[in-house]
């Protein structure tokens, strides 16, 4: 799988923060400005991490959660630099079904997606995500992938009456920006159950020391979790996010919705 060559990126004067930003969009498709207000007021963000981040200790008993299942999602989309792709289309769509009592993954939906508006991936996108052109050329478009996903939810009995579930993301853009934009492109109505989600970075603020993490890598560092797979691989990021979800629950966190798209 192709990986970023940091020496070549440095020679081309690309900024590290811009390369790995998942929330920087073009001026046409911008992140809603009110999203920052959803961060709890009590959070603090250390400057240069001068003080070590110490989380509450893990406990042998996980507190009872408000849901039966968590659906951990991490979307990868078309992108480029310095001028981004417009519109950005979903090219990888992984969802992991996690038992909310045991925090053990029970099933996985994973599909690559062929983009429609801009079908050719940029070199930047391939280097960032590890997704090459041949991996998506023969894949279905998003409309078919989403129908397959709904069928998977039915098969897993997630949509069964009385079942409580919540989508889980590392941050807001997956379901606040990328998914609604793709639904608009594919002329699909966004289902109500995907208009609310759990943003794990925001959930992180609900336990001491009430610190807002920058990204998934930071959360894994503070939770003392060893990352697996490749950064910005959708399925690998989702699997690592499952580990963070369980770790925070073991430290006493009860998850609840904290992100929404009206």
Residues labelled as active-site residues: 76, 232
Instruction: Calculate Rg over the CA atoms of the chain.
Output: 18
CB contact at 8 A, 91 and 112: yes
Q: Is 25 helix (H, G, I), strand (E, B) or coil?
A: coil
Interatomic CA distance for residues 201 and 215, integer angstroms: 7
3-state secondary structure labels for all residues of 35-100: HHHHCCCCCECCCCCCCCCCCCCCCCCCCCCCCCEEEEECCEECCCCCCCCCCCCEEEEEEEEEEC
Neighbours of 55 (CB within 10 A): 18
Interatomic CA distance for residues 69 and 216, integer angstroms: 21
CA dist list (Å): 197 to 51, 137, 200: 31, 31, 9
Q: Is 260 helix (H, G, I), strand (E, B) or coil?
A: strand
Q: Which residues contact 18 (CB under 8 A, 6 or more apart)?
A: 24, 81
Six token digits for residue 73:
């999602």
Interatomic CA distance for residues 47 and 137, integer angstroms: 44
Short-list 99, 98, 97, 133, CA closest to 115: 133
Short-list 81, 105, 79, CA closest to 92: 79
């Amino acid at each position: 799988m192709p990986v970023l060559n940091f020496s070549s990126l440095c020679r081309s004067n690309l900024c590290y923060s811009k390369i790995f930003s998942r929330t920087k969009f073009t001026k046409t498709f911008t992140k809603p400005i009110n999203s920052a207000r959803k961060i709890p007021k009590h959070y603090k963000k250390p400057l240069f991490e001068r003080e070590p981040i110490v989380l509450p200790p893990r406990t042998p008993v996980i507190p009872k959660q408000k849901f039966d299942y968590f659906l951990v999602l991490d979307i990868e989309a078309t992108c480029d630099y310095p001028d981004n792709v417009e519109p950005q289309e979903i090219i990888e769509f992984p969802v992991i079904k996690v038992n909310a009592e045991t925090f053990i993954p029970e099933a996985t939906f994973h599909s690559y997606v062929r983009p429609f508006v801009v079908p050719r991936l940029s070199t930047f996108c391939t280097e960032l995500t590890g997704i090459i052109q041949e991996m998506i050329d023969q894949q279905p478009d998003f409309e078919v992938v989403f129908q397959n996903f709904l069928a998977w939810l039915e098969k897993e009995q997630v949509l069964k009456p009385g079942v409580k579930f919540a989508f889980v993301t590392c941050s807001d853009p997956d379901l606040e920006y990328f998914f609604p934009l793709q639904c608009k492109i594919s002329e699909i109505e966004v289902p109500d159950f995907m208009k609310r989600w759990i943003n794990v970075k925001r959930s992180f603020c609900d336990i001491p020391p009430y610190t807002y993490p920058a990204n998934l890598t930071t959360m894994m560092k503070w939770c003392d979790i060893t990352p697996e797979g490749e950064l910005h691989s959708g399925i690998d990021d989702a699997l690592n996010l499952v580990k963070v979800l369980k770790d925070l629950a073991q430290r006493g966190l009860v998850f609840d919705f904290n992100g929404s798209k009206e």
